[in-house]
Amino acid sequence: ETGVTQTPRHLVMGMTNKKSLKCEQHLGHNAMYWYKQSAKKPLELMFVYSLEERVENNSVPSRFSPECPNSSHLFLHLHTLQPEDSALYLCASSQGDSYNTEAFFGQGTRLTVV
Amino acid sequence: AQSVTQLDSQVPVFEEAPVELRCNYSSSVSVYLFWYVQYPNQGLQLLLKYLSGSTLVKGINGFEAEFNKSQTSFHLRKPSVHISDTAEYFCAVSDWNNAGNMLTFGGGTRLMVKP
């Protein structure tokens, strides 16, 4: 596989469930990101990891918990979510130490909280 | 703080007509600008980017954009659109530092190409 792969593509979960989103990149990048895309709102940066360390947390509620075990994998652990958390969650990667590179995005996980 | 404004939420256009999608930005640091396209049920794909140099940037699928520093704009253009160009288009500005390339996105413009 090449590029950025996200699993699952679709997820329905109850408000008391615990689930995880997975992202894997095969591009040799050293920075990974989680973005949230809600209806009628711009894409929002949630978390940034560079060299497996979290360098940005955009005031995201603690019910979202990221994990970056190595430079190729990124997880988003979810627990006690609210219906307003329903959205498309996009993972991206880039070469963090080079300015002339763009972010590559996965296809996203469509999350529905019921 | 950076921000991006896409002035049109929807742009309907007939096939083979030209199109311009508008983007204005504000940034207090060096500007790196991007246009991404999102097809239904897909992630974002890079169309083109401006980092430095020539203000006219050419991208994939026949798109181009012009960086205008005095007007703080980065409008996207295509001289003749196809049905397959129907998608959501996002303008973004980069706040790049040694820790990574953090993008601030505009609200998106839905391009609807009609036959």
Full 3-state SS string of A71-100:
CCEEEEEEECCCHHHCEEEEEEEECCCCCC
Interface test with B, best of A99, A100, A107, A109 (most B CBs within 10 A): A99
Residue B85 scores a pLDDT above 90: yes
pLDDT at A100: 59
The alpha carbon of residue A76 is apart from the nearest alpha carbon of chain B, in Å, by: 17
Bridge partners, residue B94, by sequence: B32, B103
Per the prediction, chain A carries an average pLDDT of 89
pLDDT at B37: 96
CB A102, CB A110: distance < 8 Å: no
The whole-angstrom separation of Cα B87 and Cα B109 is: 8
pLDDT at B74: 96
Q: Where does the pLDDT of residue A50 fall: very low under 50, low under 70, confident under 90, or very high at 90 and above?
A: confident
Per the prediction, chain B carries an average pLDDT of 90
Q: Where does the pLDDT of residue A97 fall: very low under 50, low under 70, confident under 90, or very high at 90 and above?
A: low
